[in-house]
Amino acid sequence: MTPHLFSPIQIGPYRLSNRIVMAPLTRMRAPESIPTELMQRYYCQRASAGLIITEATPISTQGVGYPAIPGIYNDVQIKAWKKITEAVHSKGGRIFLQLWHVGRISHPDFHEGELPVAPSAIAPKGDAVTYKGMQPFVTPRALELEEIPSIVDQYRLAAKNALTAGFDGVEIHGANGYLLDQFLRDGSNQRTDNYGGSLENRCRLLLEVIVAVSKVWGVERVGVRLSPSGTFNDMSDSEPEKLFTYLLGQLNRFDLAYLHIVDALESDIRHGAKVVELSALRRAYLGTLITCGGYDSAKGNQVLVNELADAVAFGELYIANPDLVERFRINAPLNTPDPSTYYGGDEKGYTDYPFLNS
């Protein structure tokens, strides 16, 4: 039978009732880096998604690069997340935590004046979002070879913390120009050691992180997110199709819960992205594939019918439509998201979008 958004799907050990995934969405509403009751309400409102992927969540203080982001590196955060996972489970939902290290997309203000770390000392163009407002990115410090195992260990510890916090799995954030993506692409990685240069070397850190996190969770509860065509955060690569088809060949060695692809966005095309087509990625990857980026119900069903993906994640539509599943089911009109309330603030533009019939 041809799959559609309402066909059930097996993801790792979980039978999901639909293929509608809530994309990871940073909302900057966790003062002191601790998840809040308001966040609990927000995620519970969206528990009818086949799968929720949380907002990107720093694995360590070194991994922080934005204000008011909830972490997963101390006991208070673990306890606070546990309340959220229990509440989502009580509503019948499934929730994966997105593990995040920002690398160079940060500012010394977050690190007691120390420089952010990156594969190479190359400053991204643009500004960091800090507690004092926007400030130009600085040139980061290139990680020493001896420090790389400690990065892998930060992922391992955070993965353990996520397990304690009661999540159903974790998604390794390898997309959107953050640390692991910075290692993958030659626009940001100019290393000459085992972690730079060849495709094998640039993919090494991500693969080591997958192995470490899978030892904690079992590989069937680990997802990976990539953005092969992404230009966000000043990203570029000389031959992205070659890089990402090579990487997907490596990922085929693991039986991951899923691979999550951020498709080329309009903004990437405006920034001159070398687009890697979803069809090429689908051919290269043999496991479960989630796609994301500019989908609505019709386009989502189309990509499933064309067998270019197995599930579809929705970002901005999920910000404005807590009952997106129900709205898609009966073809109801959608609420319009308000970008002015995406980042920071309170319940306005967060938990106050109306449900159908409310």
Figure out which of the listed residues 56, 203, 206, 290 binds ligand FMN, where binding follows CB under 6 A: 56
| CB contact at 8 A, 341 and 316 | no
Q: How many residues bind ligand FMN (CB under 6 A)?
A: 21
Least distance between ligand FMN and beta carbon 213 (Å) = 16
Six token digits for residue 142:
């290139």
Distance between CA 154 and CA 212 in Å, rounded?
Answer: 10
Comparing CA positions, the residue from 146, 139, 143 lying closest to residue 115 is 139
Nearer to ligand FMN, 31 or 149 (CB): 31
Pairing label, strands 127-130, 133-136: antiparallel
Distance between CA atoms of residues 268 and 153, nearest Å: 32
Q: Which is nearer to ligand FMN, 35 or 196 (CB)?
A: 35
Q: Which is nearer to ligand FMN, 50 or 196 (CB)?
A: 50
Tokens representing residue 157 in the block = 């510890």
Closest to ligand FMN by CB, 128 vs 142, is 128
Total residues belonging to the chain: 358
Measured distance between the N- and C-terminal CA atoms of the chain, rounded to whole angstroms: 35
Q: Which of 49, 84, 262, 290 binds ligand FMN (CB under 6 A)?
A: 262
Q: How far is the CB of 75 from ligand FMN (least distance, A)?
A: 23
Residue with token string 């002015």: 340
Task: Decide if residue 353 touches ligand FMN (CB under 6 A).
Answer: no
- The pair of three-digit structure tokens given for residue 323, joined into one six-digit string: 């009952």
The stretch among 119-127, 135-143, 144-152, 288-296 that binds ligand FMN (CB under 6 A) is: 288-296
Choose which of 18, 120, 176, 288 interacts with ligand FMN (CB under 6 A).
176
The CB density around residue 31, as the number of other CB atoms within 10 Å, is: 11
Among 109, 241, 277, 316, binds ligand FMN (CB under 6 A): 316
The answer to the question of residue 290 lying near ligand FMN (CB under 6 A) is no
- Told to check if 59 binds ligand FMN by CB under 6 A, we report no
- Helices vs strands, H then E, count in the chain: 11, 14
173 lies in the binding site for ligand FMN (CB under 6 A):
yes
* Minimal distance, residue 56 CB to ligand FMN, in Å: 3
70 part of the interface to ligand FMN, by CB under 6 A: no
- Active-site choice (42, 73, 155, 178): 178
Q: Say whether residue 26 binds ligand FMN (CB under 6 A).
A: yes
- Scanning 10-18, 124-132, 172-180, 269-277 for contacts with ligand FMN by CB under 6 A, the matching segment is 172-180
Interaction between residue 93 and ligand FMN (CB under 6 A):
no
Q: Distance between CA atoms of 130 and 250, rounded to whole angstroms? A: 36
* Runs of H (alpha helix) within the chain: 37-45, 75-90, 148-164, 179-184, 199-217, 240-251, 266-270, 278-284, 297-305, 316-320, 324-329
Has 73 been annotated as catalytic? no
Decide whether 142 or 292 has the Cβ nearer to ligand FMN.
292
Least separation in angstroms between residue 325's CB and ligand FMN is 15
d(CA 48, CA 30): 23
Of the pair 110, 196, the CB lying nearest ligand FMN is at 110
d(CA 91, CA 201): 43
> Shortest gap between Cβ of 175 and ligand FMN (angstroms)?
5
CB neighbour class for 134 (10 Å; exposed up to 12, middle 13-18, buried from 19): exposed
301 HSE (CA, 13 A, CB side) = 10
Which 3-state string (H, E, C) describes 321-344?
CCCHHHHHHCCCCCCCCCHHHCCC
**Contacting ligand FMN within 291-310 (CB under 6 A):** 292-295
Active-site positions read 178
- What are the residues binding ligand FMN (CB under 6 A)? 23-26, 55-56, 98, 173, 175-176, 225, 262, 292-295, 314-317, 342
